[in-house]
Structure 1
Amino acid sequence: MPSINRFLVNRRLLFFIFVVIALLASLQSYYGGLKTFVPGGKLYTSFNNYIIFKQSFFHLIHGQDLYVLYLDEQFDLFKYSPAFALFFGGLSYLPDLAGLTLWNLLNALVLFFSVYYLPKGDLRTKGIILLTVLIELLTSIQNEQSNGLIAGLLIFAFGFLERGKYWQAAFCIVASVYIKLFGIVALALFLLYPNKLKLTYTTAVWILLFTFAPLVVVDMEQFLFLYKSWLSLLQNDRSISDGLSVIGWLKAWFGWDVNKTMVNIAGVVLFCLPLVRIRYYSQYTFRILLLASVLIWVVIFNHRAESPTFIIAMCGVALWYFSLSSSRENLVLLLLAFVFTALSATDVFPRFMRDEWLKPYVIKAVPCILIWGKIIYDMWVGNLAPRESVPSQV
């Protein structure tokens, strides 16, 4: 076997790479010094997002509002659920370097193991998938974001569904929702599997557990207040920005000041269109393409999508490409995504190009938008011929 193939099927080596990436990103953030987020503003740590997550736990147990600014401690708002704040307590008491490192390792390794948990695909293909998304993962964990964890949870959910492990699948999807609400789109995967009753009650149980978990540390009055405050934040958040999304692309390229709700409704309709092909639910390729569609949809139709969010979309891109038989048009789209999505936030492009062209014209999102359209086409009328597996040797 050629050396490149031996590298791609070497799970221990790839595991080591993911661990090193997480460690280096953590050290870079921790020792990155202080910085401002607005000209002349207060100085904050380079790992500000981790501080937001860490402090949310202390705000929770001290009976404070999670969803207001604490500018003496951190820049920006906490936007996740009260349950997330509670569960982050497992890291909050640790020294910052240890907690930050474990947080980044969690994001990197949940994604790593989720890809290997996919029920089909040879070791070589799974190795290529992991390398395809590695740059975007680094972008996410350099910003201490939760997006690698979310992508891993959704891929794990698919793996559990394929194996009939509905409790575990429901846990992964509900957990993703209580980190970032857009994980709720993954519930569409349930349509493809039998025993809808079990899927319904397992999901309901996990929702109840996650929702009421904060009652361990707060009383009912504070509990109700926190959820009202969270809902108010989410409602007000819709008008703040357009993000690296379909909405931002339509405005940047065509000058369309579109209604966000209407764009999302159109996205839902297109997303659901292939689901009328019920007889294809039995095909693995159809099912994994729906997973890929979910992973991309939750990013490109998110008006708050930013560069670190695209690890989720790139996972969808990789699963789409390496699940179908190869074609020239799919290869072109993959290369566009690698260059203009994965590399657009790196120094491969000079700063003036990033500031003058890539960011203003939402270039990072465009390949993912095109690929999502191709996925919908493939699922609706296209060829679902699967990629042939290559026998692997370790």
Structure 2
Amino acid sequence: MTAFNRFLSNQKYLLFLFLAIAVFASLQSYFSPLKTFTEGGRHYTAYNNYIIFKQSFFHFLEGKDLYIEYLDEQGDLFKYSPTFAILFGIFGLMPDVLGLSLWNILNVVVLLYSVYYLPKFDVRTKGLILVFVAVEMLTATQNEQSNALIAGLLLFTFGALERRSYWLASFCLVSTIYIKLFGIVGLALYLLYPDKLKLTYTTAFWVVIFTIFPLVAVDWEQFLFLYKSWGNLLSNDHSISDGISVIGWLRTWFGLEMNKTYVSVAGALLFCIPLLRIKAYSNFTFRILMLASVLIWVVIFNHRAESPTFIIAVTGVALWYYAQVPSRANYILLILTLIFTILSPTDLFPRFIRNEWMKPYVVKVVPCILVWGKMIYDLLAGKLQPRQSEP
């Protein structure tokens, strides 16, 4: 066995790599100078996203509106659920350097072990998946966001569904929804499994628990106010930007100014078409590709998608590639994803190329769109043959 294969097959080595990513990114952000997000604007910490999460907890305890600007404290709005705000107090009560580090460690560890929780992949293939997403993981972690956590929870959802552990599966899926609402797309995975009644009542149970959890600290009036304010924020957020998404790609590449709702509906219809192959539900490769489709769809059709969001999509690309028998077309798409999605925001690309071409033309999303298109073809007409396990 070569040294690289030994590395891929050793869970402790990969755990050390992911922990190093989390700690490095945390310390880099913590010790970086203040920065501004708009020209001539206020200066905030380099770990502004963590501050937003942290302050949401204190705003919650103080009975404030979580969903308005606090420009003296943070450089953007809080957009997650009231439940997330109160749970983040676990980190927010700590000194920033410790809370930030543990928050990032939680993200990388959940994704790491969710990959190991996947059934029917050999340990070397799981190592390949983790190495492929490592650089994108660093990008996500440097921004202190929850995207790696979302990706990991969706993978845990799938692994639990495969094991018919429906209480765990529904807990993980509902958790994603109460972090970022787009996790609701994962409900499509339920169609692939038996005992829909159990899936329904376990999910309903966790929805109730996650919804009413803020009542441990606020009265009914404030509870209703917070959910109304959150709903208003989400509804008004729809038209703000095109993001690194299908919408942004259509506008910058082809000059098409399309209604976002229409594009999302078209994407949803394409996503659902493979689900008509009910007889394919018994095929594990079909099921894992549907998971990969969820992971990519929630990013490329998200008009608010940013570079750190792509850890979710890149995880989907890795699952799509390593779940099937390799082909030349798939390998080319994998390499395009590595170069233009994962590496294009890094210093491997000169700054003028990033600023003049990569960012304005949302190049980062294009390989993921191509992979998702190929994935829909695979789900509809592909042979769906699993990758051979390594001895």
| Category of TM-score, reference length = shorter chain | over 0.9
Matched, 1:192 2:192: yes
Letter of the 1:201 counterpart:
Y
Alignment match, 2:144: 144
Deviation at 1:43, TM superposition (A): 1.4
Alpha-carbon distance in structure 2 between the residues aligned to 1:289 and 1:39: 43
Alpha-carbon distance in structure 2 between the residues aligned to 1:210 and 1:30: 31
Secondary structure in structure 2 of the residue aligned to 1:347 = coil
Alpha-carbon distance in structure 1 between the residues aligned to 2:349 and 2:332: 20
Matches within 5 A, 1:148-297: 148-297=148-297
Alignment match, 1:110: 110
Matches within 5 A, 1:44-83: 44-83=44-83
Per-residue deviation, residues 49-98 of structure 1 (Å, max 9, x unmatched): 00000000010111000000001110110000001001101111100000
Per-residue deviation, residues 79-135 of structure 1 (Å, max 9, x unmatched): 000010011011111000000000000000000000000011111100000000011
Determine what percentage of the aligned residue pairs are the same residue: 66
Deviation at 1:31, TM superposition (A): 0.3
Structure 2 unaligned regions, length at least 5: none
Deviation at 1:36, TM superposition (A): 1.0
Alignment match, 2:347: 347
Letter of the 1:164 counterpart:
R
Deviation at 1:351, TM superposition (A): 0.8
Letter of the 1:314 counterpart:
V
Letter of the 2:97 counterpart:
L
Matched, 1:299 2:296: no
Letter of the 2:363 counterpart:
I
Alpha-carbon distance in structure 2 between the residues aligned to 1:246 and 1:383: 27
Secondary structure in structure 1 of the residue aligned to 2:282 = coil
Deviation at 1:382, TM superposition (A): 1.4
Per-residue deviation, residues 286-313 of structure 1 (Å, max 9, x unmatched): 0000000000000000000000000000
Alpha-carbon distance in structure 2 between the residues aligned to 1:352 and 1:228: 44
Letter of the 1:54 counterpart:
K
Matched, 1:121 2:121: yes
Deviation at 1:30, TM superposition (A): 0.4
Letter of the 1:26 counterpart:
S
Structure 1 unaligned regions, length at least 5: none
Secondary structure in structure 2 of the residue aligned to 1:70 = coil
Letter of the 1:266 counterpart:
A
Task: With the length of structure 1 as denominator, give the TM-score of the two structures.
Answer: 0.99
Question: 31-40 or 293-302, which moves further after superposition?
Answer: 31-40
Alpha-carbon distance in structure 1 between the residues aligned to 2:2 and 2:36: 49
Secondary structure in structure 1 of the residue aligned to 2:70 = coil
Alignment match, 1:334: 334
Alpha-carbon distance in structure 2 between the residues aligned to 1:350 and 1:273: 41
Alpha-carbon distance in structure 1 between the residues aligned to 2:329 and 2:40: 48
Alignment match, 2:312: 312
Matched positions, count = 391
Deviation at 1:2, TM superposition (A): 1.6
Deviation at 1:349, TM superposition (A): 0.6
Deviation at 1:37, TM superposition (A): 1.1
Alpha-carbon distance in structure 2 between the residues aligned to 1:169 and 1:292: 16
Alignment match, 2:24: 24
Alignment match, 1:383: 383
Alignment match, 1:88: 88
Alignment match, 1:14: 14
Please identify runs of 4+ aligned residues in structure 1 that moved more than 6 A. none
Alpha-carbon distance in structure 1 between the residues aligned to 2:382 and 2:57: 48
Alpha-carbon distance in structure 2 between the residues aligned to 1:16 and 1:310: 22
Alpha-carbon distance in structure 2 between the residues aligned to 1:306 and 1:187: 23
Secondary structure in structure 2 of the residue aligned to 1:67 = coil
Deviation at 1:38, TM superposition (A): 1.3
Deviation at 1:344, TM superposition (A): 1.1
Letter of the 1:99 counterpart:
G
Secondary structure in structure 2 of the residue aligned to 1:281 = helix
Alpha-carbon distance in structure 2 between the residues aligned to 1:2 and 1:34: 45
Alpha-carbon distance in structure 1 between the residues aligned to 2:276 and 2:40: 55
Letter of the 1:86 counterpart:
I
Per-residue deviation, residues 315-357 of structure 1 (Å, max 9, x unmatched): 0000000000010000000000000000011001111101110
Alpha-carbon distance in structure 1 between the residues aligned to 2:83 and 2:362: 33
Letter of the 1:332 counterpart:
I
Alpha-carbon distance in structure 1 between the residues aligned to 2:152 and 2:366: 23
Alpha-carbon distance in structure 1 between the residues aligned to 2:290 and 2:201: 23
Deviation at 1:187, TM superposition (A): 0.5
Alpha-carbon distance in structure 1 between the residues aligned to 2:377 and 2:367: 15
Secondary structure in structure 2 of the residue aligned to 1:305 = coil
Alignment match, 2:368: 368
Letter of the 1:267 counterpart:
G
Alpha-carbon distance in structure 2 between the residues aligned to 1:80 and 1:2: 45
Deviation at 1:179, TM superposition (A): 0.5
Letter of the 1:102 counterpart:
L
Deviation at 1:33, TM superposition (A): 1.6
Secondary structure in structure 1 of the residue aligned to 2:364 = coil
